[in-house]
Amino acid sequence: DQQVKQNSPSLSVQEGRISILNCDYTNSMFDYFLWYKKYPAEGPTFLISISSIKDKNEDGRFTVFLNKSAKHLSLHIVPSQPGDSAVYFCAASRNDYKLSFGAGTTVTVRA
């Protein structure tokens, strides 16, 4: 039933270094992928997305890579900053409103 999986529940990284978050999916019908960031006591906020016709999308310090054959995507944050400490959710869509989320990865950026 879990169509989107984030196998690493947590990640600790030093400030200035790269954070790499991974996500796997099982449904080959997904054609749009998103990353959300969530702070405690707040709702998820959209971070970056990628269409299945691309393999990379970049927005400032954030880059998402998509490997369709492996059904795998990753989010790179370079350089990591203390304000990046949050829970990151991977989500997928069949180009409609029904988002399927992973369980999230908690990122802690150490000073």
Query: Which stretches of the chain bind another protein, using CB under 8 A?
Result: 4, 6, 32, 34, 36, 41-46, 49, 89, 91, 93, 95-104
DSSP E strand stretches across 39-85: 45-51, 56-59, 62-67, 72-77
CA 54 to chain CA mean position, Å: 16
Sheet holding 19-25, edge to edge: 4-5, 19-25, 72-77, 62-67, 56-59
The CB-of-88 to another protein minimum distance in angstroms stands at: 11
Residue that the structure tokens 């990284």 belong to: 13
Give the nearer residue to another protein in terms of CB position, either 2 or 14. Answer: 2
> Please, what is the minimum distance in Å from the beta carbon of residue 92 to another protein?
9
Nearer to another protein, 42 or 70 (CB): 42
CB nearer to another protein: pick between 15 and 59: 59
